Structure 1
Amino acid sequence: MFIVLLKFSDNKAKAGQFMEGHKAWLKRGFDDGIFLMAGSLKPQLGGGIMAHNISRDALQAFVGDDPFVAHDIVAPEIIEFEPSQQRPELQGLFG
Structure 2
Amino acid sequence: MFVLELTYTAPVSAVDKELEAHVAWLDQLYAQGVFIASGRKNPRDGGVILAVADDRAAIEEIAASDPFVRAEVCEYRITEFIATKTAPELAPYRQQLP
The runs of at least 4 aligned residues of structure 1 exceeding 6 Å deviation read: none
CA drift at 1:55: 1.8
Shift of 1:84: 2.9
AA paired with 2:72? D
2-structure distance, mates of 1:91, 1:31: 16
Shift of 1:12: 3.4
Describe the superposition over 1:57-87 as per-residue Cα deviations: whole angstroms up to 9, x where unpaired.
0111111111101111111111001123345
1:93 equivalent in alignment to 2:82: no
Does the 8 Å CA contact 2:53/2:59 hold for their aligned counterparts? no
Amino acid at match of 1:71: A
Q: Which amino acid aligns with 1:10?
A: A
Structure 1: 5+ residue stretches without partners: none
In the TM superposition, what is the alpha-carbon distance from 1:41 to its structure 2 partner?
1.0
Aligned residues: 94
Q: Which residue of 2 aligns with 1:13?
A: 13
Amino acid at match of 1:46: G
| Alpha-carbon separation, structure 2, partners of 1:91 and 1:3 | 15
| 3-state SS, counterpart of residue 75 of structure 2 | strand
Does structure 1 conserve the Cα–Cα contact (< 8 Å) formed by 2:2 and 2:81?
A: yes
Q: Residues 11 and 72 of structure 1 are in contact (CA less than 8 Å); yes or no, is this contact kept in structure 2?
A: no
Q: Residues 23-62 of structure 1: matches in 2 within 5 Å?
A: 23-62=23-62
Identity of aligned residues (%): 27
1:32 maps to a residue whose letter is: Q
Q: Quick one: which amino acid aligns to residue 67 of structure 1?
A: P
Is residue 64 from structure 1 mapped to residue 64 from structure 2 by the alignment? yes
- Aligned-residue Cα RMSD (Å) equals 1.8
